Amino acid sequence: MIELSGLTKRYGEKVAVDDLTFTVRPGVVTGFLGPNGAGKSTTMRMILGLDHPTAGDVRIDGRHYHELPDPLTYIGALLDAKAVHGGRTARSHLLWLAQSNGIPAHRVDTVLETVGLTAVARKKAKGFSLGMSQRLGIAAALLGDPRILMFDEPVNGLDPEGIHWIRGLMKSLAAEGRTVFVSSHLMSEMALTADHLIVIGQGRLLADTSMADFVADNAHARVRVRTPDRERLLDALHRAGLTAQDAGDGVLEIEGDAAERIGELAAEHRIVLHELSVRRSSLEEAFMRLTAGAVEYHAHQAPPAAPWGADSRAAASGTGGQAVARTSAEG
């Protein structure tokens, strides 16, 4: 368990992390979501004692990081995949970590196997691709067989096979009862892996909710209907207590997930339908609305105005989240 209480970090005038209070629990994957610059990495660095809080407190199973004996056996983390001495082989990097943390050497081969790096174990890290470096970083996090794991943007730079593998790994670690805390700036990624969501923007807590509740609250459904017999359908809908809105191009839209009812009404009144479909707002759009006031660098174009996309999970796996990425204004 990771417990944050009023955690705050200021860099001069800049408040990178602003009074964060939340708990990351075992047995589930907790997604740590926020636009670029929201303060995710700074929060994770404070959890690991790499940055000192300006105010507040963070504890790992009730203790500060520096109070943990052999910390890698309590919490393993992937923060920066390239933070490895390039002249070391994958194996010697892990052996050095194991020795300095009282971890038996046989764990090195076990974790190399787990992350699929056995074949390149004796190759120098400087020749590794970003994907291989990510896997080496994950091997280091797993080395001490810790109950708590923390990954900062672990799918960055991975190919589809690597992304699929890491999603499975996170879920299986949580299923073993471990605490899994993973950051991302993409709702689409979290929608596929996280059971619980912590959303931050400009260092502040915006949401602390289960994924199921987030979906229920944000993935509203709306039925689209097209018919050549518009007046009769409107009349039938009205008598059934359903309110339709004109969506242009001959399309009527009805709030809620009432497609079956509308199809049955149409059949009952022998009304021909040319279209009957359900639209759900995408989770990516819900995330963008939630963080709209807290994005550090906006793209020049406005975010999509229409709140209704395709099926929520399917749409969430698209690329919509890119719209909150930093622009050239970042420089």
* Residues lying near ligand ATP in the complex (CB under 6 A): 11, 14, 16, 34, 36-42, 185, 296
Nearest distance, CB of residue 45 and ligand ATP, angstroms? 8
**Identity of the residue, 35 or 144, whose beta carbon is nearer to ligand ATP in the bound complex:** 35
Nearest distance, CB of residue 37 and ligand ATP, angstroms? 4
**Identity of the residue, 12 or 69, whose beta carbon is nearer to ligand ATP in the bound complex:** 12
Q: Is the dihedral of CA 308, 314, 316, 318 positive or negative?
A: negative
Phi and psi dihedrals of 107, rounded to 5? Answer: -65, -25
Nearest distance, CB of residue 38 and ligand ATP, angstroms? 4
**Identity of the residue, 36 or 129, whose beta carbon is nearer to ligand ATP in the bound complex:** 36
Take residue 38 and report the two structure tokens written for it. Answer: 């929201």
Number of Cβ within 10 Å of residue 168's Cβ equals 11
**Identity of the residue, 81 or 262, whose beta carbon is nearer to ligand ATP in the bound complex:** 81
Nearest distance, CB of residue 40 and ligand ATP, angstroms? 4
7 Ramachandran zone, left/alpha/beta (phi>0; psi -120 to 50) = beta
For 302, the 3-state DSSP assignment is coil
**Identity of the residue, 11 or 96, whose beta carbon is nearer to ligand ATP in the bound complex:** 11
Which DSSP category does 72 fall into? Answer: G
Amino acid letter at 19? D
Q: Select from 25, 29, 34, 36 the least CA-distant residue to 3.
A: 25
157 class by beta-carbon count within 10 Å (0-12 exposed, 13-18 middle, 19+ buried) = middle
What is the DSSP secondary-structure string of 304-322? PS---BS-HHHHHTSSGGG
Nearest distance, CB of residue 184 and ligand ATP, angstroms? 8
**Identity of the residue, 37 or 131, whose beta carbon is nearer to ligand ATP in the bound complex:** 37
Nearest distance, CB of residue 44 and ligand ATP, angstroms? 8
